[in-house]
Structure 1
Amino acid sequence: MGKPDAEGHGPADGLPGLPPEWGRVVVPDDASALAAEAAQVRRELRRASGRPGDHRALGLPLLVLLVAILTMLAGLLVVTWPRANRGTDRPTPAPYAPPATLAGRALPALDLVDPDDEPVPLRGLLPAMIILLDGCPCPDRITDALAAAPAGVSVVTVTAGRTASTGPTAQGQARALADPAGGLRAFLRQPARPGTATALLVDRTGTVTRVLPELGTIESYRSDLSALAG
């Protein structure tokens, strides 16, 4: 049975290692005297840690949160992972050019429109050099083509929309037409580019002999233009 010391304190007061701020600690001789305190401690522990069912209820949200965090970290790793070829793995744009198979194909039977809004069958003007002016009026290029075109070869200028361009036609060979439906440009399968005229050379059978994506000086196509008269 516990006995107080000379100062009236219980024997537990002299237990080593107990902080002094705990004050006087009395250890009863009968452990059953601590039953109430033990029950209170167990209740506090259950309240702090939650009931067993609470762990199961929290398990799924915690798992979802863990998966989301791992997914985010994986995405950041992929984005920030250094690559030796970063900045050089983009494909190099191909140069502007019509499809390689266009030469040798037949010109479609297109009806264009003249300045009087009358339909004109394009194949009825062959052989011809057909110049598309939807990207550039290019009067100098038209004048050069008119001067170099041999007898019997038509020079046809084609503009987009319903209004035919009445460009330099003083020599009487150019035929100004409009292409309201855009059929000729669709045949080329290439968009118009500002500042650039495109030309097709078509023989009398309706076969495309050459495509000039960027109509340059007469020297770049003179021989092909002369061959259309044969």
Structure 2
Amino acid sequence: MAGASDNGGRPPGGGSPDDLPDFPEEWGVIVIPDDLSELADEVEAVRAELRTGPPLTGWQLFVRRPGVRRLRRFGTLLMRTPALIVSVAVLVTVASLFASAWPGPARQPATQRTAGTTPSPAGKLPALDMIGTDGQSVSILSSLPAVLLLTDGCDCARLLDDTVAAIDPGVTVLAITTAGVSADVSTGVSAGPSAATGVLPTTRTPRADGKNVTFLQDRTDTLRTQLDLSDPDGTAAAILVNRTGDIVRIHARTASIETIRPDLARL
């Protein structure tokens, strides 16, 4: 065994070469043997201290192999991927729910409405009963297809004549007023509504082609109210209805047959 004087080239007395710091004094004199086998007892003591835990089982040794550890990491990744997908799907669903419930800016109408015209289709014609010229109740749904002309405050004799002339034989023209109409029975259809008379014509000369106007009285102005039409202004309101009761078009202000002529073919 080497002496203290041969301690790794240290000078005698434990001095430090090259001005290196000395070992702590509590370590005492450190001697490095020439034969490392002389440290076997110290090695065993250290190993004994490291083996303080219980010995590993065969299964623990198996799962600690490198190949098994790689398989475990791969399996963990496979399990995390579906969980990640489900989490993203849940977040997207919640975000879409919030987006649909969040009030957005007011949308502009897709089409520009022209004054006095309701876009087609406008819904179903209300099932209303009105008073006919004989004082009996008449259902407006029994006269479809039809052109309904609300003629309060309107000098509509020309419009009525032109409408009857333009329609097909199977279409009915209904002239509706709240107070009543008066008619020149000698000319038949040329009957202008008059809110002042309060009476309906009882006789009229039929046309040769069999097409005539049916006069009805809506005393409570229910039809105008349900269709949200404006008050009378000297023009007629025209409602075109097909045979199934669907409103093809509503013209809130009509003074000429040319306004409704394009829609007559759809009845």
TM-score bracket, shorter-length normalisation: 0.5 to 0.7
Say if 2:258 is the partner of 1:219.
Answer: yes
The equivalent position to 1:176 in structure 2, one of 208, 212, 215, is: 215
The equivalent position to 1:128 in structure 2, one of 146, 158, 170, is: 146
CA RMSD of aligned residues (A): 2.3
- Deviation per CA, 1:28-56: give whole Å up to 9, x if none: xxxxxxxxxxxxxxxxxxxxxxxxxxxxx
> 1:164 Cα deviation (Å)?
4.6
Say if 2:229 is the partner of 1:190.
Answer: yes
> Which aligned segments of 4 or more residues in structure 1 are displaced greater than 4 angstroms?
none
Query: Which ranges in structure 1 are unaligned for 5 or more consecutive residues?
Result: 1-93
1:217 to 1:112, Cα distance in 2 relative to 1, 3 A: same
Q: Counterpart of 1:147?
A: 165
Say if 2:116 is the partner of 1:97.
Answer: yes
> 1:121 Cα deviation (Å)?
0.3
Amino acid of the residue matched to residue 264 of structure 2?
A: L
Say if 2:225 is the partner of 1:206.
Answer: no
> 1:226 Cα deviation (Å)?
2.3
Distance 2:182 2:252 in 1: 20
The equivalent position to 1:109 in structure 2, one of 103, 120, 127, is: 127
Percent of paired sites with the same residue: 33
* TM-score, normalised relative to structure 2: 0.45
> 1:174 Cα deviation (Å)?
0.9
Distance 1:103 1:183 in 2: 20
Distance 1:126 1:160 in 2: 21
Distance 1:192 1:135 in 2: 10
Distance 1:124 1:165 in 2: 24
> 1:206 Cα deviation (Å)?
0.4
**Structural mapping, 1:65-84, within 5 Å:** none
- Deviation per CA, 1:152-173: give whole Å up to 9, x if none: 0001100113x35547524342
1:95 to 1:223, Cα distance in 2 relative to 1, 3 A: closer
Highest Rg: 1 or 2? 2
1:164 to 1:122, Cα distance in 2 relative to 1, 3 A: farther
The count of aligned residue pairs is 133
Distance 1:109 1:101 in 2: 21
> 1:200 Cα deviation (Å)?
0.3
Q: Secondary structure at the match of 1:214?
A: strand
